[in-house]
Amino acid sequence: MNLFIDAFAWIFSPDRLEGSLTLPMAIAQHLAFTFGSVAIAAVIAIPIGWLIGHTGRGREIAVFLSGAARALPALGLVVLLVMLAGVTLKTEAAVTAFVVLAIPSILAGAYSGIEAIDRTVIDAGRAMGMTEWQILFRIEMPLGLSLLIGGLRSATLQVVATVTIAAYVGLGGLGFFLIQGLQTRNFAEVLGAAIIVAALALVLDGLFALLARYAVPRTTGPRVRRTRTEPAPLPVAQTSH
């Protein structure tokens, strides 16, 4: 347990506020990369996801893409894009990699949120004479919000982990201390940075859990209960449209 004492000593040492990369700066960089990439990915993926969810077209492609993306190694993608783009465009290349990794979860969250809505609710809206836009904005968007937030949550956590790895190509962030410490065998530094990265991920996860609780409109019992006890349905079992 001495290791942990050393690690906390490293974290709270006044040296962390000096030098070319201070600890608060690294945390800020890490968060900026994470939120920036997730925001770009959201701008791309949410409209497409809603389109797929609303029209029911292109589902197979979306399912295939999110499946294939799981197999894509984050480290390899970052290294490859940075090498192809060259040193001058290093940041842009790395952010592109983060965006690529964030898109599938957000896309899946957006379209599955709409798919999970009871069809009768949407049909009722249509029967009342709502336009397709009204159905999208007043029914599908609010009711699909909880799964969309779930998608944003997994995308964010994925990017936090990938930004950590991306320090390998010299991107800064909290991973900088991990990589530097591994190279110089400074175990207090490595462990201290690992603790902060893990804590950061857990805090973000908690924030998304709160967001999901307060931002989502309360729906009637049965629908919520059904989504909870029924397993994440197998693609074959989903029947919308």
Partner 1 sequence: MNWVLENLDLIWALTVDHLRQSAIAVVAGFVIAVPIGWLAFRYTTLRGTVLTIIGLLYTIPSLAMFILLPAVFGFPALSDINLIVALAIYAVAIMTRSVTDGLGSVDEVTRSAAVAVGFGAWRRFWTVDFPLAGPVILAGLRVTAMSTISLATVGALIGVQNLGYLFTNGAQRRIVAEVFAGVVAVVVIAVLVDLVLMLLGRALMPWSRRASAPRTTRMQAAHA
Q: Should residue 197 be labelled a site residue for partner 1 when binding is judged by CB under 8 A?
A: yes
Q: Which helix H or strand E contains 216, and what residues bound it? A: none
Q: Should residue 68 be labelled a site residue for partner 1 when binding is judged by CB under 8 A?
A: yes
Judged by CB under 8 A, the chain residues 135 through 194 that form the site for partner 1 are: 157, 160-161, 164-165, 168-169, 175, 178-179, 182, 187, 190-191, 193-194
Q: Which of 5, 12, 22, 119 binds partner 1 (CB under 8 A)?
A: 119
Q: Which is nearer to partner 1, 56 or 67 (CB)?
A: 67
Q: Should residue 225 be labelled a site residue for partner 1 when binding is judged by CB under 8 A?
A: no
Nearest-approach distance from CB 47 to partner 1, in angstroms: 26
Residues 6+ apart with CB under 8 A from 227: 116
φ, ψ dihedrals at 140, nearest 5° = -70, -40
Q: Which of 80, 124, 215, 224 binds partner 1 (CB under 8 A)?
A: 80
Q: Which amino acid is at 32?
A: A
238: left (phi over 0), alpha (psi -120 to 50) or beta: beta
Q: Which of 202, 207, 215, 224 binds partner 1 (CB under 8 A)?
A: 202
Q: What span, in angstroms and rounded, lies between the C-alpha atoms of 180 and 47? A: 40
Q: What span, in angstroms and rounded, lies between the C-alpha atoms of 72 and 89? A: 22
CB of 175 closer than 8 Å to CB of 163: yes
Q: What span, in angstroms and rounded, lies between the C-alpha atoms of 238 and 115? A: 8
Footprint of partner 1 (CB under 8 A): 3-4, 7, 67-68, 70-77, 79-80, 83-84, 118-120, 157, 160-161, 164-165, 168-169, 175, 178-179, 182, 187, 190-191, 193-195, 197-198, 201-202, 205, 229-232, 234, 236-237, 239
